[in-house]
Amino acid sequence: MPFVSPSKGPLSFDRVYEDILAYIGEMPEAGYRLIVGTDSHSRDDVHFVTAIIIHRRGKGARYYYERRRHAPMAGLRQRLYHETALSLQVGSQLAERLARGHLDVELEIHLDVGQNGATRELIREIVGWVAGSGFDAKIKPEAYGASKVADKHTK
């Protein structure tokens, strides 16, 4: 499935990465964070949306999202694990390319878990998984990549 840019339409992963590099190239002296977050919504099947956000500190951001459908899942834990796996997959692809290009950009994985609600019981294990994979993990309310950007496109 292609990613979608709200301003540029459908893009391959390669084109998303090129657009991120071009965005950084416009103001290379600015600080950047690269954020990956996934959210899901259940209907007859489950819709997963993974968002990539390139945040230019104090100067705005661009984002891209990818929507996937999946057969119904047994419960919340399975859905959150799948969300995390999708974010880690995309985050790993980005980290690999950034390393090849010798770019030093912070990469965060935003998780759709928080201290309030049923997801609080899963925080330690999911954050541990992400941290063990070498990424900085953010949970709600700091996890806007999942809870705001990706969530916007799940319905």
Q: What is the pLDDT of residues 64-109, one digit of tens each?
A: 999 999 998 888 999 999 999 999 999 999 999 999 987 889 999 9
What average pLDDT does the segment 24-29 reach? 94
Q: What is the pTM of this model?
A: 0.95
Residue 73 DSSP label: -
Task: Give residue limits of the domains in the chain.
Answer: 3-152
pLDDT at 92: 97
| CA 109, chain centre distance (Å) | 6
Closest of 111, 117, 150 to residue 130, by C-alpha: 111
CB-based burial label for 52 (10 Å; 0-12, 13-18, 19+): buried
pLDDT at 73: 84
Q: What is the Cα–Cα distance from 50 to 116, expressed in whole angstroms?
A: 22
